[in-house]
Amino acid sequence: MKPERHAKIIEIIGQYAVETQEELAERLNGAGFKVTQATVSRDIRELKLSKVMMDGKQRYVAVQNEAGRMGEKYIGILREGFVSMSMAQNILVIKTVSGMAMAVGAALDAMHWGEVVGCIAGDDTIFCAIRSTDDTLLVMEKLKKLIKS
C-alpha cells in the first residue's frame, strides 16, 4: 500500500500546487487512500519532499537525484532560492529567499560534492561546512557557475 500511496503523492504534487500536509491528505483521501496528517508527514519525510517558492506560493516538490547526476530541478531550486553567499573560513554561509533554505540545502547535499561535509538550513540561511578554506573557494566557484549557467 505504501508504494502505491507514495506514487500517488508524486503524481499529486506534480499536478497540483500542494501547499500543506492537510491539503495533500485531502487529495489522497479523495483518491481512495485513507490517511491521517501524521501518515502524510512520514511520507513527505520518506520521499524527501521539499517546499519551494513558486509563483509566490510555497509548494511541495520531489527533489531527488536520479542515477547520480544533478538534474535541472536542483539547478532550478538553486537559481530560484539563492540570494548571496559569504565565506567564513571553512563555513559557507548562503542566504536564500525566505522559506527556501531547506530546499536549497537539500539540493546542495544531493550534489554529493566531496568538499561539502554537510549543510544546516534555517528559513533563509544555510551554514555549509566545507572540508577546508581552499575547498570553500572551490565550492563558491562551482555554485557561481551553476547559478549563472
Q: Give the model confidence (pLDDT) of 25-71 as tens digits.
A: 999 999 999 999 999 999 998 888 888 877 778 888 876 544 344 46
Same structural domain, 43 and 72: no
Distances (CA, A) of 65 to 50, 71, 98, 108, 111: 13, 7, 24, 11, 8
Determine contact, residues 125/101, Cβ cutoff 8 Å.
Answer: yes
Same structural domain, 6 and 38: yes
CA-CA-CA-CA torsion sign (87, 142, 49, 22): positive
Maximum pairwise Cα distance, the chain:
54
Q: What ranges make up the beta strands (E) of the chain?
A: 49-54, 57-62, 82-88, 91-96, 116-121, 125-130
Q: How many domains does the chain have?
A: 2
Same structural domain, 42 and 79: no
In the prediction, which pLDDT does 93 show? 98
In the prediction, which pLDDT does 14 show? 81
Same structural domain, 144 and 75: yes
Same structural domain, 33 and 93: no
Determine contact, residues 101/88, Cβ cutoff 8 Å.
Answer: no
Note whether residue 129 is domain-resident.
Answer: yes
CA distance linking residue 27 with residue 8, whole number of Å = 10
Q: What is the mean pLDDT of residues 124-136?
A: 96
Q: What percent of the chain has pLDDT over 90?
A: 50
pLDDT of 4 over the 50 cut: yes
CA distance linking residue 11 with residue 16, whole number of Å = 9
How far does CA 133 lie from the centroid of its chain? 25
Same structural domain, 37 and 74: no
CA angle 55, 56, 58 (to 5 degrees): 95
What is the length of the chain? 149
Domain that holds residue 79: 68-148
Note whether residue 59 is domain-resident.
Answer: no
CA distance linking residue 17 with residue 115, whole number of Å = 35
Note whether residue 58 is domain-resident.
Answer: no
Same structural domain, 85 and 126: yes
Same structural domain, 99 and 141: yes
Same structural domain, 86 and 140: yes
Look up residue 3 and give its three cell numbers. Answer: 508504494
Note whether residue 125 is domain-resident.
Answer: yes
Q: How confident is the model at residue 116 (pLDDT cuts 50, 70, 90)?
A: very high
Q: Comparing 119 with 62, which gets the higher pLDDT?
A: 119
Note whether residue 137 is domain-resident.
Answer: yes
Same structural domain, 88 and 129: yes
Q: Over the chain, what is the mean pLDDT? A: 87
pLDDT of 106 over the 60 cut: yes
Note whether residue 91 is domain-resident.
Answer: yes
